[in-house]
Amino acid sequence: MYDVRQVREDFPILKRRVGDRPLVYLDNAATSQKPRQVLDALTEYYERHNANIHRGVHRLAEEATALYEEARRKVARFLGAPDTRSVVFTRGTTESINLVAYAWGRKNLREGDEVVLTESEHHSNLVPWQLAARAAGAKLRFIPVREDGALDMEAAEQLIGPRTRLVGCIHASNVLGTINPVERLAALAHAHGALMLVDGAQSAPHVPVDVKSLGCDFFAASGHKMLGPTGVGVLWARPELLEEMDPFLGGGEMIREVHLEYSTWNDIPYKFEAGTMNIAQAIGLGAAVDYLSGLGMENVREHERHLGEYAYRRLSELEGITIFGPEKDRTGVVAFHLPDVHPHDLSQLLDEEGIATRSGHHCCQPLMRRLGVAATARASFYLYNTEEEVDALVEAVQRAREFFGAFAR
Ligand code: PMP
C-alpha cells in the first residue's frame, strides 16, 4: 500500500485553502485533481516539443508524434489491450460512446433490432443510443436496478436475446458505488451474437481494468477523471470492429486518398482521429497512467474500498439518512439523501467549510426516478483522500442539519 501523505504532496491543489479552510476535495467522480507529474508533462511538451503530429518531417513534429504515440502505447498497456491500434483518442467517454453509436450503429442497427442498456446509465451511454435507435427504427430495452443497487441479472437473462445487437453498461456507477458484472453481461451478449460496450468512465480511474478479461468489444474512458487533463479520452475497441466501422468525423488525417467525389480511409486508429488532435492532453494522459501504474491499481482500489465503506459507516450514524448502493465492497462514490436538507443547500453549506461535493441528478435522471428522489448529495473519493476528510464531511453534514433544523423549529 502507498503512503497517502506522500501521494498528497504530488498534488499542488490539495494545499490550497477555500476561504480560511483547507480544501477537502470530494468531487472526484466529476473530475479528479492532477499530480505534478502530469502538469510537468504538459509544460515540458509546450516548452520543448510543441508541433503538429504525423504530418511534419521537422524535429519538433517527430518528437511530438513520438510522444503522442508513446501515450497511446501507455494507455493500451494500462487497459490490458494487446494491440496499440485498438486505442482511439477522443475527447472523453461521451465522444467515445457517440463514436460507437454513430459509426457502428449506423451500419449495423436495423428496424426491429434491440440495444439493451441499464436503468443506471449515465446520460452519455443513453442519449447516443436513443439517437442511434431512432435513426434505425431499433428499440432500447433496460435491465432494472434492484433495491440494493445491483443489476437484476435474472431480468438481464430474459432481456438479452436474439434481437439484441449490443449491450451497453456502466462498469462502475457514478451514483450507486457499485461495480457491475460486465463480464457476465458480455458473455450473455456474445451468446446471442451481440456486442458489449462498457462505459468505463468511473472504473478506469479506480479499479484494475483488463479489456481482455472483461470480454467486452468496446470500452470508453475519460482522461480527466483519472488524473489526466480535460479534453482527452479513449475508445478501446476490438481492432476488427474498428476496421469494419465507417469513420465518425471526416477531415484531415483520417484519410488515405481524397478525390473530389470520394475518399478512402487511413488505417486504424487514425481513421477515427480527424483533424488536429488533443496532442498535449494525450501526452498528459500518458503521464497520468504512468502515475496510476506506479501506485498500483490494486492499491488504489483497496484504498477507495476502505474509504467508501468507512464513509458509508460514518454517514449511517446520521438519523434518517438514505445512502444509495451497497454497504460493503463498494467504490468511493457515496450518494446520500437526508429528509430534512435539500442536497443543493447541503453542498452549499459544505462548500463554506471548504468541502467540495456535488448535488443533483449526476446525469442519471432515469436512475433518480428509479430511486424516488429528484437529486442526491454525493461525495466521491480518490486515491489521495483520507479518513480525516471523511470525518470532516460527516461532521459538516451534521452541522448543516442542525442549522436547517433550527430553521424548521
Ligand atoms: N459515464 C459515467 C459513468 C460518468 O460518470 C461520466 C462523467 N460524469 C461520463 C460517462 C461522461 O464522461 P465525460 O463527461 O468525461 O465525457
Question: With bands split at pLDDT 50, 70 and 90, how would you rate the model's confidence at 83?
Answer: very high
Q: Domain boundaries in the chain? A: 4-27+296-408, 51-293
Cα diameter, the chain: 75
What does the pLDDT read at residue 2? 97
46-to-43, 64, 366 alpha-carbon distances in Å:
5, 10, 42
pLDDT confidence bin for 56, thresholds 50/70/90: confident
Ligand 1 site, residue 311, Cβ cutoff 6 A: no
Q: In whole angstroms, what is the distance from residue 142 CA to residue 156 CA? A: 8
Between the CA of 30 and the centroid of ligand 1 the distance, in Å, is: 8
pLDDT in tens, 241-251: 999 999 999 99
CA dist 219 → 4, 205, 341 (Å): 29, 13, 38
Is the CB of residue 199 below 6 angstroms from any atom belonging to ligand 1? yes
Helical residues (DSSP H) of 219-296, grouped into ranges = 239-244, 279-295
Q: How many other C-beta atoms lie within 10 A of the C-beta of residue 162?
A: 8
pLDDT at 405: 76
C-alpha of residue 200 to centroid of ligand 1, in Å: 8
118 lines ligand 1 (CB under 6 A): no
Instruction: Tell me if 122 CB under 6 Å of ligand 1.
Output: yes
Ligand 1 pocket mutation, candidates 93, 364, 376, 382, criterion most atoms within 8 A of CB = 93
- Percentage of the chain modeled with pLDDT above 70: 99
Distance, CA 93 to ligand 1 centroid (Å)? 6
Q: Give distance in angstroms: CA of 224 to centre of ligand 1.
A: 10
Residue 409 — very low, low, confident or very high, per pLDDT cuts 50/70/90? low
CATH topology identical between 4-27+296-408 and 51-293: no
Q: Which of 19, 33, 15, 136 is nearest to 383 (CA)?
A: 33
Q: Per residue in 131-151, pLDDT tens? A: 999 999 999 999 999 999 999
Whether complex ipTM tops 0.90: yes
Q: Quick one: which atom of ligand 1 is closest to the CA of 233?
A: 15
Half-sphere exposure of 373 (CA within 13 A, CB side): 22
Looking at the chain, the number of H-run helices and the number of E-run strands are 15, 17
Give the residue whose CA is nearest to atom 14 of ligand 1: 94
- Is residue 238 within a helix (H) or strand (E), and if so which, with residue range? none
**Best probe residue, ligand 1, of 27, 28, 122 (max atoms within 8 Å of C-beta):** 122
Measured between alpha carbons, how far is 48 from 79 in angstroms, rounded to an integer? 29
pLDDT, residue 406, reads: 65
What would be the CATH architecture of the domain defined by 51-293?
3-Layer(aba) Sandwich (3.40)
174 lines ligand 1 (CB under 6 A): yes
Of ligand 1's listed atoms, the one at least distance from the Cα of 171 is: 3
* Averaged pLDDT for residues 50-57: 90
How far, in Å, is the centroid of ligand 1 from the Cα of 324? Answer: 19
The CATH topology of domain 4-27+296-408 is: Aspartate Aminotransferase, domain 1 (3.90.1150)
Q: Which atom of ligand 1 is nearest to the CA of 94?
A: 16
| pLDDT for res 340 | 86
Q: Which atom of ligand 1 is nearest to the CA of 93?
A: 16
Helix axes 343-352, 387-408, angle to 10 degrees: 120
Q: How far apart are CA 371 and CA 367, in angstroms?
A: 6
CA of 133 to the centre of ligand 1 (A): 21
R_g of the chain, CA atoms, integer Å: 22
Question: Average of pLDDT values for 170-196?
Answer: 98
- Decide if 76 contacts 83 (C-beta within 8 A): yes
Atom of ligand 1 nearest to the CA of 230: 15
Are 218 and 196 in contact, with CB atoms under 8 Å apart?
yes
116 alpha carbon – ligand 1 mean position (Å): 19
**Ligand 1 proximity of 202 Cβ (cutoff 6 Å):** yes
Task: Assess whether 364 carries a catalytic annotation.
Answer: no
Per residue in 184-198, pLDDT (tens digit) is 999 999 999 999 999
How far is C-alpha 272 from the chain's CA centre?
20
Q: What gap in Å lies between CA 61 and CA 82, rounded to an integer?
A: 27
